[in-house]
A and B are shown apart, each in its own frame.
Chain A
Amino acid sequence: DAKTTQPTSMDCAEGRAANLPCNHSTISGNEYVYWYRQIHSQGPQYIIHGLKNNETNEMASLIITEDRKSSTLILPHATLRDTAVYYCIVSHKAAGNKLTFGGGTRVLVKP
Chain B
Amino acid sequence: GAVVSQHPSWVICKSGTSVKIECRSLDFQATTMFWYRQFPKQSLMLMATSNEGSKATYEQGVEKDKFLINHASLTLSTLTVTSAHPEDSSFYICSARDWGQVGQPQHFGDGTRLSIL
Contact = CB atoms under 8 A, between A and B. Distances in A.
B97 A97 contact: yes
Interface in B60-117: 91, 93, 95, 97, 102-103, 105-111, 113
Given A96-B32, A99-B34, A103-B43, A42 B49 contact: no
B46 A45 contact: no
Contacts, number: 54
Interface residues of B, number: 25
B25 interface: no
B107 A98 contact: no
Contacts of B113: 41
Interface of B: 4, 6, 32, 34, 36, 43-46, 49, 57, 91, 93, 95, 97, 102-103, 105-111, 113
30 contacts: A32-B103, A36-B108, A41-B113, A42-B110, A43-B4, A43-B6, A43-B93, A43-B95, A43-B108, A44-B93, A44-B95, A44-B108, A45-B108, A46-B105, A46-B106, A46-B107, A93-B102, A93-B103, A96-B32, A96-B49, A97-B32, A97-B106, A99-B34, A99-B46, A99-B106, A100-B46, A101-B36, A101-B43, A102-B43, A104-B43
